């Protein structure tokens, strides 16, 4: 049996879905498009019928190209056919508007269950609904009152599913002779809606009684502040600051545990397995690769706990309302704000979050610029380079210069994202007029179960979308770094052993020098030397070139690569030792390599460069074409080169 869960946005539909399916759910895509398809199974009397969570809609008529395809899958004749049972979740405080979708579905001859949800909210607003009276007027549809937030009414709903299970629809038509999606003309759809609302008014006559409450003034008092011209933006800025403080503060501990844990594991495996190629592949390719995937999870989890808290509580709709006008000149929509914020953790969930933007042009602009928001993979790169070239002094007695530089890099990314969006807005054609109609939900305490399930899903998506690619690339890079043309490699190895420094070195240092020489003569070393003429104008040598190439696995690999190249010991003191080595590093002419100019140039390069294959793969998937990721890689690559060149030559 196939059950479909319908409802307007903000009716608690997802809460009902989570309540019915718990962890037995999976997220995929509708065929050919990237609208999320969420399905789950409901354990019921030994059977497990499939439940499809239909994206929140106000009417069966599509709103965008994407919705059109979803609607075809659900209602179209060539698709799987109509669901065997529809559960329609309606908001009890707004029965009239919510019932529009219900009457349409009923006329499609789908057996239905009507779930009148959020009964607590209704009674708080002084609204009384005569459920029994409504049931009498809808004899063929079980009417179930629920308060899904606290799991109230679940048994009643399951009973209703049992009674409706085997039924064919015997619904009395609201509009006789109604055929599926007959009204293609927008005007006809409008007329149909009006006719339906007239019928709904009759249906509800005498069912709803409402008394005066003070709720309305209460609502306005909060919202006046949240959307206030000064306080509104102030609150939004404050919330963002708190979020990022918490992300940095809380995530650093689990990130350290993950990194250390995997370093220990790698050490353990390398000493306990027979040495050889397989051992090296495992310890230097696979394990660091997996560690490089997992280390992102704390930041992603913490950011999404807070974002979904804001979303669930209804605050994000206010932020979208506030920001819409500000971001429109850049071809963005108020709804672009959430994907762009997510991109500050990782561009992958950010790109996926653009699915909520109905207008195609606005959506593509948003996902195009999302990778310019500084993601968490850039943080280790920035921290290393800042502590290397920026002096730790205070400016004006208050501000840490190093902190200001980090802030500046974030600001550079955000401003560049807006600038690119502005240009794209001029270049792209708009296929459909952008309009913005958004319901602003009531502020309410979030349902923890929903937050937990959302965060779990985001992590799963990240691992699926990025995990494989990151591990694969780190294995590939390991191969390129471990092998090279044998003749030159052996010759170089011999040469280093004859040097004076080598003979004076301790066994440990000798090993490092050998490793360093091996890397220099590996394929990746040769690659680094090949690109040296290209990156020289930016102030980089071939060693930095190697680190740039390895960053394609994930940007933070830059740090690890540098420590291998500069033969720093890979233990706890790695960071300080690496710093010392980098500070002492001299160019061929004897001047220091990591000058202020070169360091800033490198940081600027990392602000722009599209060094993340996983993001490109996700963009390809979301836009259904190679065009966008290729343009992204080229445009951001050129910007990185140009801006880094400027930074190096102007400073």
Partner 1 sequence: MRLNELLVGEYGRIKAIHACEFSSRLNEFGVMEELSFEVTLSAPFNGPMAIHFNNTTLSIRREDAAAIEVEKVVPPPFENFQ
Site of interaction with partner 1 (CB under 8 A): 58-59, 61, 63, 91, 93-94, 96-97, 100, 125, 127, 186-187, 189-190, 193-194, 197, 210, 216, 219-220, 223-224, 227, 229, 232-233, 317, 321-322, 324-326, 334, 432-433, 435-442
Minimum distance between the CB of residue 64 and partner 1, rounded to whole angstroms?
11
Structure tokens at 326: 């500000």
Residue closer to partner 1 by CB (options 241, 326) is 326
What's the chain's Rg over C-alpha atoms?
29
Minimum distance between the CB of residue 194 and partner 1, rounded to whole angstroms?
6
Residue closer to partner 1 by CB (options 125, 360) is 125
CA distance 315 to 540: 46
CA distance 428 to 86: 40
Residue closer to partner 1 by CB (options 24, 325) is 325
Residue closer to partner 1 by CB (options 71, 93) is 93
Q: Under a CB-based contact definition with an 8 Å cutoff, are residues 343 and 373 in contact?
A: yes
Residue closer to partner 1 by CB (options 148, 471) is 148
Q: Under a CB-based contact definition with an 8 Å cutoff, are residues 89 and 11 in contact?
A: yes
Minimum distance between the CB of residue 169 and partner 1, rounded to whole angstroms?
23
Q: Are strands 85-91 and 112-117 parallel, antiparallel or unpaired?
A: parallel
Q: Under a CB-based contact definition with an 8 Å cutoff, are residues 455 and 304 in contact?
A: yes
Q: Under a CB-based contact definition with an 8 Å cutoff, are residues 84 and 169 in contact?
A: no
> DSSP string of 118-141?
-HHHHHHTTEEE-HHHHHHHSTTS
CA distance 431 to 467: 35
Residue 244 burial (10 A CB sphere; 0-12, 13-18, 19+) = middle
CA-closest candidate to residue 112, choices 75, 157, 164: 164
Residue closer to partner 1 by CB (options 335, 458) is 335
CA distance 288 to 563: 14
Minimum distance between the CB of residue 234 and partner 1, rounded to whole angstroms?
12
Structure tokens at 422: 């502005």
Residue partners of 401: CB distance under 8 A and separation at least 6? 390, 391, 392, 393, 394, 395
Structure tokens at 196: 């339906």
Minimum distance between the CB of residue 101 and partner 1, rounded to whole angstroms?
9
Minimum distance between the CB of residue 114 and partner 1, rounded to whole angstroms?
18
Residue closer to partner 1 by CB (options 320, 375) is 320
Residue closer to partner 1 by CB (options 145, 442) is 442
Structure tokens at 86: 């529809």
CA distance 257 to 252: 9
Minimum distance between the CB of residue 124 and partner 1, rounded to whole angstroms?
11
Residue closer to partner 1 by CB (options 201, 394) is 201
SS3 275: coil
Residue closer to partner 1 by CB (options 105, 471) is 105
Residue closer to partner 1 by CB (options 237, 401) is 237
Give bridge partners of residue 117 from the DSSP assignment: 91
Residue closer to partner 1 by CB (options 188, 392) is 188
| Crossing angle of helices 613-623 and 627-650, rounded to 10° | 140
CA distance 471 to 615: 14
Q: Under a CB-based contact definition with an 8 Å cutoff, are residues 492 and 519 in contact?
A: no
Residue closer to partner 1 by CB (options 92, 374) is 92
Minimum distance between the CB of residue 316 and partner 1, rounded to whole angstroms?
13
CA distances from 317 to 24, 433, 468 (A): 29, 21, 34
Q: Under a CB-based contact definition with an 8 Å cutoff, are residues 204 and 96 in contact?
A: yes
Minimum distance between the CB of residue 153 and partner 1, rounded to whole angstroms?
20
Minimum distance between the CB of residue 430 and partner 1, rounded to whole angstroms?
12
Q: Under a CB-based contact definition with an 8 Å cutoff, are residues 53 and 82 in contact?
A: no
Minimum distance between the CB of residue 400 and partner 1, rounded to whole angstroms?
33
Residue closer to partner 1 by CB (options 429, 433) is 433
Secondary structure of 571-620 in HEC code, one letter for each residue:
CCCHHHHHHHHHHHCECCCCCECCCHHHHHHHHHHHHHCCCCHHHHHHHH
Q: Which residue has the tokens 């908001």?
A: 91
Minimum distance between the CB of residue 212 and partner 1, rounded to whole angstroms?
9
Structure tokens at 190: 């409008």
Give bridge partners of residue 41 from the DSSP assignment: 50
Minimum distance between the CB of residue 8 and partner 1, rounded to whole angstroms?
9
Angle at 132 between CA 131 and CA 137, to 5 degrees: 95
Structure tokens at 625: 């074409």
Minimum distance between the CB of residue 222 and partner 1, rounded to whole angstroms?
11
Residue 625 burial (10 A CB sphere; 0-12, 13-18, 19+) = exposed
Minimum distance between the CB of residue 90 and partner 1, rounded to whole angstroms?
12
Minimum distance between the CB of residue 418 and partner 1, rounded to whole angstroms?
16
Residue closer to partner 1 by CB (options 121, 287) is 121
């Amino acid at each position: 049996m196939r059950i479909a869960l319908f409802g307007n946005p903000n009716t608690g539909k997802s809460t009902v879905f989570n309540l019915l399916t718990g962890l037995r759910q999976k997220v995929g895509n509708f065929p050919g498009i990237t609208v999320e398809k969420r399905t789950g199974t409901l354990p019921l009397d030994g059977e497990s019928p499939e439940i499809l969570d239909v994206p929140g809609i106000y009417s069966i008529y599509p709103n965008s190209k994407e919705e059109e395809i979803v609607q075809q899958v659900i209602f179209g004749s060539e698709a799987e056919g109509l669901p065997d049972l529809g559960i329609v979740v309606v908001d009890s405080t707004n029965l009239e508007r919510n019932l529009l979708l219900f009457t349409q579905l009923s006329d499609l001859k789908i057996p239905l269950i009507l779930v009148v949800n959020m009964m607590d909210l209704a009674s708080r607003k002084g609204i009384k609904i005569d459920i029994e009276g409504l049931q009498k007027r809808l004899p063929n549809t079980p009417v179930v009152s629920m308060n899904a937030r606290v799991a109230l009414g679940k048994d009643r709903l399951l009973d209703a599913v049992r009674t409706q299970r085997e039924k064919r629809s015997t619904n009395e038509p609201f509009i006789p002779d109604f055929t599926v999606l007959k009204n293609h003309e927008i005007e006809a759809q409008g007329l149909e809606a009006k006719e339906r609302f007239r019928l709904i008014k009759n249906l509800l006559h005498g069912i709803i009684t409402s008394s005066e409450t003070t709720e309305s003034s209460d609502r306005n008092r909060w919202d006046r502040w949240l959307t206030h011209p000064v306080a509104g933006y102030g609150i939004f800025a404050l919330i963002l600051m708190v979020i990022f403080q918490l992300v940095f503060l809380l995530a650093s501990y689990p990130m350290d545990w993950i990194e250390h844990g995997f370093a220990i594991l790698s050490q353990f495996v390398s000493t306990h397995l027979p040495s050889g190629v397989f051992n090296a592949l495992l310890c230097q390719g696979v394990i660091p690769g997996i560690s490089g995937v997992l280390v992102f999870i704390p930041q992603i989890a913490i950011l999404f706990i807070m974002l979904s808290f804001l979303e669930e509580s209804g605050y994000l709709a206010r932020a979208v309302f506030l920001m819409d006008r500000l971001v429109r000149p850049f071809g963005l929509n108020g709804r672009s704000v959430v994907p762009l914020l997510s991109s500050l953790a990782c561009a992958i969930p950010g790109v996926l979050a653009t699915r909520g933007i109905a207008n195609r042009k606005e959506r593509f602009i948003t996902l195009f610029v999302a990778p310019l928001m500084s993601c968490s993979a850039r943080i280790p790169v920035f921290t290393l380079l800042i502590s290397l070239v920026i002096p730790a002094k205070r400016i004006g007695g208050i501000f840490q210069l190093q902190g200001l530089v980090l802030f500046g890099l974030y600001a550079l990314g955000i401003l560049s994202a807006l600038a690119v969006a502005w240009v794209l807005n001029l270049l792209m054609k708009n296929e459909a007029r952008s309009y913005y109609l958004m319901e602003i939900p009531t502020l309410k305490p979030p349902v923890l179960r929903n937050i937990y399930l959302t965060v779990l899903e985001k992590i799963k998506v990240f691992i699926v979308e990025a995990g494989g690619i990151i591990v694969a690339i780190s294995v590939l890079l390991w191969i390129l770094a471990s092998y090279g043309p044998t003749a030159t490699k052996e010759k170089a190895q011999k040469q280093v052993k004859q040097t004076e420094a080598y003979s004076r070195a301790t066994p440990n240092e000798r090993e490092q020098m050998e490793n360093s020489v091996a890397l220099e003569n590996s394929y990746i070393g040769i690659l680094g030397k090949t690109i040296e003429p290209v990156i020289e104008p930016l102030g980089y040598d071939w060693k930095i070139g190697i680190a740039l190439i390895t960053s394609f696995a994930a940007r933070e690999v830059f740090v690890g690569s540098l420590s291998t190249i500069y033969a720093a010991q890979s233990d706890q003191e790695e960071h300080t030792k690496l710093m010392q080595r980098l500070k002492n590093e001299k160019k061929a002419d004897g001047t220091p390599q990591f000058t202020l100019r070169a360091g800033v140039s490198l940081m600027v390069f990392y602000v722009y460069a599209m060094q993340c294959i996983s993001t490109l793969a996700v963009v390809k998937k979301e836009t259904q074409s190679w065009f966008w990721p290729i343009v992204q890689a080229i445009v951001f690559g050129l910007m990185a080169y140009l801006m880094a060149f400027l930074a190096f030559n102007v400073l």
